[in-house]
């Protein structure tokens, strides 16, 4: 067999330390049912990719691409705007990673991520 190998229920490429994973094609958290990435997933992703924030953006960009396809296929009328989807997947880490100049306010903003 030459096709890509499926890895159980975990989303492909998901970091090992993140337990709040997306349930496709709805893109809700498998654990808490919130829109993914939920607050717990964001915290875990920030911790997992602390040393390599660029990899976090690459991972999330792949998720965004798949989510747009999945959600649009499910119901084009409720997908929402592209800007909202972008912010849901890629906007928040830009506000939380040191790679983008976030300094001492990170702790405060992590609380914001959980709200």
Token representation of residue 109: 């903003």
Using CB under 5 A, pick the residue from 7, 13, 17, 32 that binds Zn ion. 32
Quick one: which of 11, 95, 9, 93 has its CA closest to 52?
Answer: 93
Q: Which stretch binds Zn ion (CB under 5 A): 19-27, 53-61, 72-80, 92-100?
A: 19-27
Query: Is residue 31 involved in binding Zn ion (CB under 5 A)?
Result: yes
Q: Answer yes or no whether residue 38 interacts with Zn ion by CB under 5 A.
A: yes
Of the pair 32, 114, the CB lying nearest Zn ion is at 32
- Token duo for residue 81: 């705007």
Nearest CA to 85 out of 70, 66, 64, 69 is that of 64
Residue ranges binding Zn ion (CB under 5 A): 20, 29, 31-32, 38, 40
């Amino acid at each position: 067999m030459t096709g890509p190998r499926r890895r159980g229920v975990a989303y492909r490429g998901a970091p090992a330390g993140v337990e709040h994973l997306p349930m496709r094609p709805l893109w809700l958290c498998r654990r808490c049912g919130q829109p993914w990435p939920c607050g717990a997933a964001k915290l875990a992703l920030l911790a997992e990719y602390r040393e390599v924030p660029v990899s976090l953006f690459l991972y999330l960009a792949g998720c965004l691409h798949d989510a747009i396809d999945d959600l649009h296929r499910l119901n084009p009328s409720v997908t929402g705007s592209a800007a909202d989807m972008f912010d849901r997947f890629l906007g928040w880490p830009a506000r939380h990673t040191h790679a983008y100049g976030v300094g001492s306010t990170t702790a405060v903003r992590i609380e914001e991520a959980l709200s």
